[in-house]
Amino acid sequence: MIIEISDIFLDQKDSKNILEIQLDKPKKIIDILEEIGVKNLGYANFYLNDRKVNKNNIAKNQDKLTVLPIVGGG
């Protein structure tokens, strides 16, 4: 699956914003992100194939997951 993630959720400076991984079976979004080392997810919104979902939704290999922050103001 393809994961596109805002760099504000990435701890390592050299982490990639877009990555492709292979899932051995469908998994919860939160588990997938934890497996790739993304834990600090305050203010994250999750989108599967551009549809807003929550972190417990199941993702499959052919899905595209996008993780974006939600913040506004000023």
Partner 1 sequence: MSYGYSGKLLKVNLTTGEIGKESLSEETMRKYMGGKGLVYHYLKDSVDKNTDPYSEENPLYFMTGLASGIPTGGTSRMVMGTKSPITGGFGISESGGFVAPELKKAGWDGIIVEGRSEKPVYLLIKDDEVQIKDASHLWGKGNGEVNDIIKEENNDNSIKLSQIGQAGENQVQYACVINDLKHACGRNGMGAVMGSKKLKAVAIKGTVGINFKDKDKITEISKWYAKYQKDKPLSKGLYLYGTAAGVEGFDKSGILPTRNFKDGSFEKAKEISGQTMADTILTERGACFACPVRCKRVVEINKENIKVDPKFGGPEYETIGSMGSMCSIGNLDVIAKAHEMCNDLGLDTISAGVSISFAMECYERGIIDKEITDGVELNFGNEEALLKLIKDISEKKGLGKVLSQGVKKAAEIFGGGSEEFAMHVKGQELPMHEPRGKIGVGLGYSVSPTGADHMQAAHDTMITEEGPMLDSVRMLGLDKPADPMAYGKDKAEFYALMEKWWGFLNMVGMCDFIPAPRGSMPVDKFMELINAATGWDVTPEECMEVGERGITAARKVNYDLGIDESHEELPKRLYQPLENGALKGESMDRNKFIEMKQYYYKHFGWDDKGYPTEETLERLGL
Residue whose CB is less far from partner 1, 20 or 73: 73
The minimum distance between CB 25 and partner 1, in angstroms, equals 24
Residue whose CB is less far from partner 1, 11 or 35: 11
Torsion angle of C-alpha atoms 54, 55, 57, 60, degrees rounded to 10: 130
The span from the CA of 36 to the CA of 15, in Å, is 10
Residue whose CB is less far from partner 1, 54 or 61: 54
Strand 2-5 to strand 44-48: parallel, antiparallel, or no bridges (unpaired)? unpaired
The dihedral sign for the CA sequence 60, 21, 3, 34? positive
The minimum distance between CB 11 and partner 1, in angstroms, equals 7
Residues at the interface with partner 1 (CB under 8 A) = 6-9, 11, 40-45, 47, 50-52, 54-55, 66, 68-74
